[in-house]
Structure 1
Amino acid sequence: MGSSCGCGVTLVLVFCLWGVLISLSSAARLSASRQKLEVTKHLNRLNKPPVKTIQSPDGDTIDCVPVSKQPAFDHPFLKDHKIQTRPTFHPDGLFEENKLSEKPKAKAHTPITQLWHTNGRCPEDTIPVRRTKEEDVLRASSVKRYGRKKHRAIPKPRSAEPDLINQSGHQHAIAYVEGDKYYGAKATINVWEPKIQQTNEFSLSQLWILGGSFGQDLNSIEAGWQVSPDLYGDNNTRLFTYWTSGAYQATGCYNLLCSGFIQVNSEIAMGATISPVSGYRNSQFDISILIWKDPKEGHWWMQFGNDYVLGYWPSFLFSYLADSASMIEWGG
């Protein structure tokens, strides 16, 4: 009799545990299904229908998207925005008539290009957009956080000398200026391809245009090169931009992964691989990045190299930078 009761208890426990396992399995499948649906919707928002597609040797797919259909125009404030095809002012006088009429001089060095150029170019009135893949989004902590920096403010410099800072495991070497109103800056950056040991590590060299305090409302425009397996899935050196108007918390993103930056150039793709790169005891290559504020329209424009005016961040995206920058940083 006692043995029979013990068996009955065992069977009840087995049935209970089996029921728990079935419930957990169903919940896991439902969660995975919801995540897949969420990822698919996000990919459909990011990857606009192209008029031409180019396969890059590094595995990237570059979509040539009509300028008026680019991700920037998902922003509600840009629904009726008239695209500004060129700035009204350029610090170097790029658009002066006498400069436009000059014949280009022969270049004595190998120009920096992007790897996808070897297989084609995008037509006029389109922009090249690096296609986002499912695995790109799945590497992020969540769909919402994909394309954004982690909640980590950039370091506030402590002296006027180049500074080395280790903050939460993130090492910075930076130089900066502050104490005035700034309306633009330029950086010439040697391009390397550092080897990354862990997928969550990254390396970069960049320019920062900053406004506001280093609290919850920091405005930042950034551009340079980076190696980030977590974001791109490989160890290639890539051109990148970033912007935020709320200290990286609720606004902004890398490249064109959210609405904001308006690209007008058909030659250069944000987030695409830069080629060639410098080698130890070998040829050296660099890129130049110029960012400046258009005094008439108020937008912040970006130029890559001497030939490519890429586009602009509309002034309404920012609070402090809508007027001017209060600090410029160079480094990584």
Structure 2
Amino acid sequence: MLKDGVILDSGKLRDEIVSLCIETAMQDFYSKRLALQLRHYIRDGSYLCRLKTPSSPSSDHNKFLPNFQMDDGDIYDCKKIHSQPSKRNISISKRKKQTSDKLRDSRIAESGTESESCPPGSFPVLKATKAGPLNFSALQDFASSRARSFLKSKAMKTLAIDNPADHEYAKGTVSGTYGGGEGTFSVWGPNIEDRSEMSLSQVWVVHAAQHQIYMALEAGWMVNPSVFGDARTRFFIFTTNDSYNTWLYNDNTKSPEDRGSNNLEFVRGRHGMPFGKRLRCQTINGNPSEIEITIIRNDEEDWEVLVDETLIGYWPKSNYQVNSANEVSWGGEIVNRRTRGRHTSTQMGSGHFSTDDLGTVAYIRKMALYDLDTDLYYPPEEDIGIIMNNGNCYDATYWDLRQADDDDDFGHYITMGGPGYHRRNCP
């Protein structure tokens, strides 16, 4: 007879035990639902099959349903949507695009069925990778050093590196009044020299004034071994409303200083890419791999995040004291620790400079803006400024292919990246 916890030293009966667990669960009060609450673990060659049976249908103290593991080793929990402090019903799964993009079908970087692996009314949350549990404490230094670098990057186009842990950028930026921004990002797997460093490509939607950042909304892909324990390329979002003193990473990880006085939140929906999702990467002259990211203010003045046209959730307007952005940027960023007494060799983008061939360099195409009425438009070429901390290590170039054909699939785009350390040029 199967009891609440059964441990078998032999692995031969593994499949039979799993089947029995599921069969028993199906006969329980919760019927099909409880079948999804099967947990199984492997501990030192032993096999544990455990059923968790809530005491009653109304005992909803747990925010999470049991986890599941993907083929790549990532482990997810399923979090109940209504456990979030939601401000509105997030039922819209897709937003109608105002432009077509004929290149997208063969280039989409996301694959997998994490969302479908969770029962209705819940969404997947990454808890651990094959390398082990996530280490979100590493984000505190990331945020504090980024605050210094970001505010300095607004002051001038060429910056002196005066902090050995500074963030370095290569990006295109526009200034005005905006209701959002979007772009289609090529996805790469840059090499990271030191585990405490990272490399990313993203869109920034920002409201900054008088050397303060009142709103920063960020989304893109990142390689960050100190957080994920591996060098895989993963999807992320990030926000702050006080110059990175407090912040929210993805949908559930707050800065240590945030103890309730600054209640940043992100409300997830049922569908869309999980945070921390591994992305398929492009290789040099290989098949392109892309992710389309949109950040847009909706009619309720909440800030939605869409990935490949699917709404994954929103930052509530209550997070911020402002209701519009005055700057949008697209580009890359790395952390330079100088752990070997020189500039890091951590790559940005593909590791190639921005003027290399398109099959070898990272790009962000279809760069677009939204006005406060959610109408999409493309930034005038003369409005885009290129910001580079250290152009000998990483650079960016803006291109415009839209003069001849307004439906061009590359449109306004930026190429960016670089290899980092070079004995003469990037010491």
Contact (CA 8 Å) 2:220, 2:236: kept in 1 or not?
A: yes
Given the superposition, is the C-alpha separation of residues 264 and 119 from structure 1 closer, same or farther in structure 2, using an over 3 Å criterion?
closer
Cα displacement (A) at 1:109: 1.1
2: distance between equivalents of 1:184 and 1:247?
19
* 1:198 alignment partner in structure 2: 194
* 2:306 alignment partner in structure 1: 303
Choose the corresponding residue for 1:177, options 143, 160, 174. 174
Superposed, which structure 2 residues align to 1:112-261 within 5 Å? 112-114=109-111, 117=113, 121-131=117-127, 135-137=133-135, 140=137, 149-153=143-147, 154=150, 155-157=152-154, 165=159, 167=161, 168=163, 169-178=166-175, 180-213=176-209, 215-258=211-254, 260-261=265-266
2: distance between equivalents of 1:226 and 1:164?
24
Cα displacement (A) at 1:252: 2.8
Cα displacement (A) at 1:195: 1.4
* 1:22 alignment partner in structure 2: none
Contact (CA 8 Å) 2:123, 2:268: kept in 1 or not?
A: yes
The gaps in structure 1 that reach 5 residues or longer are: 1-47, 100-104
2: distance between equivalents of 1:108 and 1:120?
20
Choose the corresponding residue for 1:290, options 280, 291, 294. 294
Cα displacement (A) at 1:68: 1.1
* 1:38 alignment partner in structure 2: none
Mean Cα displacement is larger for which, 189-198 or 165-174?
165-174
2:275 is aligned with what amino acid? M
1: distance between equivalents of 2:104 and 2:204?
29
1: distance between equivalents of 2:210 and 2:133?
33
The gaps in structure 2 that reach 5 residues or longer are: 1-61, 255-263, 333-427
**Which gives a bigger RCO, structure 1 or 2 (Cα 8 Å, sep 6+)?**
1
1: distance between equivalents of 2:230 and 2:329?
27
- Aligned pair count reads 253
Contact (CA 8 Å) 2:271, 2:311: kept in 1 or not?
A: no
Spell out, residue by residue over 1:14-67, the C-alpha distance to the aligned partner (whole angstroms, 9 max, x if none).
xxxxxxxxxxxxxxxxxxxxxxxxxxxxxxxxxx64335220233321112111
Contact (CA 8 Å) 1:220, 1:243: kept in 2 or not?
A: yes
2: distance between equivalents of 1:188 and 1:286?
6
* 1:330 alignment partner in structure 2: 330
| 3-state SS, counterpart of residue 149 of structure 1 | helix
Given the superposition, is the C-alpha separation of residues 148 and 50 from structure 1 closer, same or farther in structure 2, using an over 3 Å criterion?
farther
Contact (CA 8 Å) 1:211, 1:324: kept in 2 or not?
A: yes
Cα displacement (A) at 1:86: 2.8
Given the superposition, is the C-alpha separation of residues 214 and 251 from structure 1 closer, same or farther in structure 2, using an over 3 Å criterion?
farther
Equivalent pairs: percent with the same residue?
Answer: 24
2: distance between equivalents of 1:129 and 1:251?
19
* 1:69 alignment partner in structure 2: 83
Spell out, residue by residue over 1:161-203, the C-alpha distance to the aligned partner (whole angstroms, 9 max, x if none).
xx5656434221010110x210011111110011111011100
* 1:85 alignment partner in structure 2: 91
Query: Larger % of strand: which?
Result: 2
Cα displacement (A) at 1:236: 0.5
Q: TM-score, normalised by structure 1?
A: 0.67
Superposed, which structure 2 residues align to 1:37-52 within 5 Å? 49-52=63-66
Q: TM-score, normalised by structure 2?
A: 0.53
1: distance between equivalents of 2:180 and 2:97?
12
Cα displacement (A) at 1:146: 5.6
Contact (CA 8 Å) 2:222, 2:236: kept in 1 or not?
A: yes
Given the superposition, is the C-alpha separation of residues 305 and 225 from structure 1 closer, same or farther in structure 2, using an over 3 Å criterion?
same
2: distance between equivalents of 1:225 and 1:166?
26
Contact (CA 8 Å) 1:114, 1:268: kept in 2 or not?
A: no
2: distance between equivalents of 1:203 and 1:310?
23
| 3-state SS, counterpart of residue 247 of structure 2 | coil
* 1:319 alignment partner in structure 2: 321
2: distance between equivalents of 1:84 and 1:57?
29
2: distance between equivalents of 1:197 and 1:157?
28
* 2:267 alignment partner in structure 1: 262
Given the superposition, is the C-alpha separation of residues 120 and 262 from structure 1 closer, same or farther in structure 2, using an over 3 Å criterion?
closer
1: distance between equivalents of 2:234 and 2:250?
12
| 3-state SS, counterpart of residue 297 of structure 1 | coil
Over the aligned positions, Cα root-mean-square deviation in angstroms equals 3.2
Bigger radius of gyration among the two: 1
Moved over 6 A (4+): none
| 3-state SS, counterpart of residue 198 of structure 1 | coil
1:270 is aligned with what amino acid? F
Cα displacement (A) at 1:106: 12
1: distance between equivalents of 2:198 and 2:103?
36
Spell out, residue by residue over 1:77-120, the C-alpha distance to the aligned partner (whole angstroms, 9 max, x if none).
x5xx3333239x957269xxxx9xxxxx99751532245x3896
1:325 is aligned with what amino acid? A
Contact (CA 8 Å) 2:115, 2:271: kept in 1 or not?
A: no
Given the superposition, is the C-alpha separation of residues 216 and 118 from structure 1 closer, same or farther in structure 2, using an over 3 Å criterion?
closer
